[in-house]
């Protein structure tokens, strides 16, 4: 998930009661909830392929999350002890409480990341296997709305904080109202999410004007976190139905073309739990189409033939490129396409992860063009 979501989860968890376990617990919860994404600094020591290789790696694993969960409160505790000794007053931090709060907040990060189709590798360094929840799009406006609105109610006790939340709310609203539409997001879904967003904002502003947070306090935070869990449950039910429809459609496509079905995935689309992107792989091709949760016709599939013959040889040569190895190690549905077999000198082999783009597309780390030498004629 995005950094804003992780921050809101950490803050809401603190307000649900973790902040009572020790001074500085709120700050530590926010930091720990974001800590696994420290792996993005790998991008400063290499290119974008270095970042793709290390992102959601060891820091998102079980052992990495535990290490970060211990490290952050330990740094705070050591600093607090040093300052207390220097100022000659008792330390404020209760280490056990701060440690437990940090571990809980840190554990939410890989859990949240698992719910989308990007995936996590929790078994590193022993296994690099990816696990995918396929429930929530990587940015979810409904989670933003509920957790952000709750955090606003529980922390907007000063004018400066109200200004900060207002700026964040305006920025998020502009993104929802005028931001670029994601692939597969229909005009009806766009209208629905915008209406829900505006009504939700108004509801939280009205609740703040009536000081609802003073009466409910941490129960609001529990309710917000409970909403996220229930939301996941509802999405899991919808995903099950969408996957069944995708599997049926994939079997039909494979039978029609005399192919053997290998695997199928149904993945979430932005802000529309009724529409899912499906990718189906057979022994000769990969298909991409959208399905709903009801038993209704899917969209017309895009068919991408797997390389064979000379193209397969050129792809094999291009796969030796270190960038291609990184992309292929990450890609869930990798596909390669040769620009031209009838070439002299060089040709391009186009790689892509069909979750996000197609060969020849330009989607950041998810596509790559590798020049290879043409075979001698």
229 pLDDT higher than 80: yes
Confirm if 267 and 219 have CB atoms less than 8 A apart: no
Q: How confident is the model at residue 212 (pLDDT cuts 50, 70, 90)?
A: confident
**Residue where the block lists tokens 């020790």:** 22
Confirm if 234 and 268 have CB atoms less than 8 A apart: no
Confirm if 61 and 121 have CB atoms less than 8 A apart: yes
Q: For the chain, give every domain's residue range.
A: 1-133, 237-304, 307-373
Model pLDDT for residues 127-154, shown as the tens digit of each residue: 999 999 999 999 999 999 999 999 999 9
- Of residues 180 and 104, the one with the higher pLDDT is 104
373 pLDDT higher than 90: no
Q: Give me the mean pLDDT over the 325-333 stretch.
A: 95
Select the CATH number that applies to the domain covering 237-304 from these four: 3.10.450, 2.60.40, 2.60.120, 3.40.50. 3.10.450
β partners of residue 333: none
Q: How confident is the model at residue 9 (pLDDT cuts 50, 70, 90)?
A: very high
Model pLDDT for residues 233-267, shown as the tens digit of each residue: 999 999 999 999 999 999 999 999 999 999 999 99
Three-state DSSP state, 295: coil
Q: Give me the mean pLDDT over the 5-27 stretch.
A: 96
Strand order across the beta sheet in which 334-338 lies: 334-338, 346-353, 367-373
Strand order across the beta sheet in which 261-269 lies: 261-269, 272-282, 285-292, 302-305
Q: How confident is the model at residue 66 (pLDDT cuts 50, 70, 90)?
A: very high
d(C-alpha 158, C-alpha 156), whole Å? 6
- Of residues 15 and 189, the one with the higher pLDDT is 15
Chain centre distance of CA 225: 18
| pLDDT value, residue 183 | 63
d(C-alpha 61, C-alpha 124), whole Å? 6
**Residue where the block lists tokens 């783009």:** 357
Model pLDDT for residues 269-312, shown as the tens digit of each residue: 988 999 999 999 999 999 999 999 987 666 789 999 999 888 89
Tokens encoding 102: 């940090």
How many helices (DSSP H) and strands (DSSP E) are in the chain?
A: 12, 7
Task: Give the chain's radius of gyration (CA, Å).
Answer: 24
Average pLDDT, the chain: 91
Of 240, 235, 213, 239, give the one whose Cα is nearest residue 224.
213
Share of the chain above pLDDT 90, in %: 75
Q: How confident is the model at residue 108 (pLDDT cuts 50, 70, 90)?
A: very high
Confirm if 166 and 31 have CB atoms less than 8 A apart: no
Q: How confident is the model at residue 363 (pLDDT cuts 50, 70, 90)?
A: low
| pLDDT value, residue 299 | 73
Q: Give me the mean pLDDT over the 45-67 stretch.
A: 93
First to last CA, the chain: 50
**pTM for the predicted model, two decimal places:** 0.92
Q: Which residues contact residue 294 at a Cβ distance below 8 angstroms, ignoring those fewer than 6 apart?
A: 241, 245
| pLDDT value, residue 140 | 94
| pLDDT value, residue 43 | 86
Q: Where are the alpha helices (DSSP H) in 115-158?
A: 141-155
Q: Which residues contact residue 25 at a Cβ distance below 8 angstroms, ignoring those fewer than 6 apart?
A: 14, 18, 19, 97, 98, 101
| pLDDT value, residue 231 | 97
**Residue where the block lists tokens 């006790």:** 157
25 pLDDT higher than 90: yes
315 pLDDT higher than 80: yes
């Amino acid at each position: 998930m995005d950094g804003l979501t992780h921050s809101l989860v950490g803050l809401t968890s603190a307000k649900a009661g973790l902040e009572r376990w020790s001074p500085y617990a709120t700050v530590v919860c926010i930091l720990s909830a974001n800590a696994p994404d420290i792996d993005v600094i790998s991008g400063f020591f290499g290119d974008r392929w270095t970042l793709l290789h290390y992102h959601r790696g060891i820091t998102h694993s079980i052992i990495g999350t535990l290490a970060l969960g211990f490290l952050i409160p330990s740094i705070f505790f050591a600093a607090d002890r040093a300052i207390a000794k220097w100022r000659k007053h008792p330390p404020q931090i209760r280490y056990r409480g701060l440690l437990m709060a940090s571990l809980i907040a840190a554990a939410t990060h890989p859990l949240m990341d698992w719910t989308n189709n990007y995936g996590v590798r929790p078994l590193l360094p022993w296994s690099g296997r990816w696990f995918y929840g396929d429930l929530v799009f990587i940015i979810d406006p409904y989670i933003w709305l509920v957790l952000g609105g709750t955090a606003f109610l529980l922390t907007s006790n000063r004018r400066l904080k109200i200004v900060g939340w207002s700026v964040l709310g305006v920025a998020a609203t502009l993104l929802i109202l005028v931001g670029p539409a994601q692939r597969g997001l229909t005009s009806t879904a766009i209208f629905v999410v915008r209406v829900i967003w505006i009504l939700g904002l108004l509801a939280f502003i009205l609740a703040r004007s009536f000081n609802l947070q003073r009466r409910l306090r941490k129960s609001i935070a529990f309710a917000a976190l409970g909403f996220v869990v229930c939301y996941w449950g509802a999405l899991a039910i919808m995903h099950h139905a969408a996957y069944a429809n995708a599997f049926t459609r994939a079997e039909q496509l494979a039978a029609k073309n005399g192919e053997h079905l290998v695997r199928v995935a149904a993945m979430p689309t932005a802000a529309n739990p009724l529409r899912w992107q499906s990718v189906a792989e057979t022994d000769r091709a990969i298909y991409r189409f959208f399905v709903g949760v009801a038993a209704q016709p899917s969209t017309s599939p895009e068919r991408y033939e797997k390389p064979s013959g000379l193209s397969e040889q050129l792809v094999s040569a291009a796969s030796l490129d270190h960038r291609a190895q990184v992309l292929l190690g990450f890609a869930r549905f990798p596909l390669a396409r040769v620009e031209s077999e009838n070439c002299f000198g060089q040709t391009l082999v186009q790689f892509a992860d069909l979750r996000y783009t197609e060969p020849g597309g330009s989607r950041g780390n998810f596509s790559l063009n590798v020049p290879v030498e043409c075979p001698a004629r």
